[in-house]
Amino acid sequence: MLVHSRAGKLAVRGVFLLLFVPLFAVPLLVIVAASVSTNWSGAFPSGVTTEHYAAATSGDSLKALTTSLVTAVSASLVALLVGGWAALAAASLRARGKRFLDMLFMLPVAVPSVVVGLAVLVAFSRPPVLLNGTRWIVILAHTVLVTAFAYQSVSAAARRLDPMYEQAAASLGARPSYVLWRVKLPLLLPSLTAAAGLCFALSMGELSATMMLYPPDWTPLPVRIFAATDRGSLFTGAAVAVVLMATTLLVLLAVSRIRTRASYR
């Protein structure tokens, strides 16, 4: 929608702020405010303290942060490998095979993550593959959940990639594997990093499936936030949430820097 008049532009911006501020900005600001307050009984918090942050960046909370980071990074990398591979393979399949793979990788998105959690729990609670009670079951569930997104973003990019590059490379004598490493993957790098960032962010915030699976020694941050607020330690929970938010944003920022350097057109 293009609005040219000055009054029109102001009105559109006004409506945007009216929708954006209460929906997105205020809740986040409230969390930030809560994370530094000693007491909040009126309309505004009273007293400023950093002790919640001290708690949120040490001891069990710090351990939970590392747990979350390790889980998210591992899940994203595996998802990128599996999902990206499948997406590239799908691009060279006929229509029917492509549709089948698209549907297969849609499943974890379509099914509620609680159900995915339960499914993973039931499937791996018994030999031969007994993962219940270990960190691996959490990482596995996260991988299952985020692979779908990796598949979808890589497959959208692979579909957009002009086949003329691949053909030019082949006509120059490049074997398919050489074309993949030297032409396709470099050209897909921006989408691959975008997919990695998306997977990472999703995994960092995953709660519902994690709740059903996490062992005591592998507690990701969202679980800690939930536990803290459940206990009534709202301010500690808020500080941990801000830490989670900041870490995720920092990693996404770093990823997007790689993306900018990797985009050519």
Q: Which residues bind another protein (CB under 8 A)?
A: 162, 164-165, 167-176, 178, 182-183, 186-187, 264-265
CB of 259 to another protein, least distance (A): 13
For residue 209, the tally of other CB atoms under 10 A from its CB is 24
- Full DSSP string of 161-226: S-HHHHHHHHHTT--HHHHIIIIIHHHHHHHHHHHHHHHHHHHHH--HHHHHH--TT---HHHHHH
Q: Which is nearer to another protein, 163 or 216 (CB)?
A: 163
Query: Nearer to another protein by C-beta: 2 or 164?
Result: 164
User: What 3-state class would DSSP assign to 45?
Assistant: coil
Q: Select 21 or 168, whichever has its Cβ closest to another protein.
A: 168
Min dist. Cβ of residue 190 to another protein (A): 10
Considering beta carbons, is residue 59 or 176 the nearer one to another protein? 176
Nearest approach, Cβ of 60 to another protein (angstroms)?
45
Q: Minimum Å distance from CB 256 to another protein?
A: 18
Give the nearest distance from C-beta 178 to another protein in angstroms: 5
Residue 186, both tokens: 């470099």
For the beta carbon of residue 69, count every other beta carbon within 10 angstroms: 18
Torsion of CA 178, 183, 185, 190, to 10 degrees: 170
State which residue, 168 or 254, has the beta carbon closest to another protein. 168
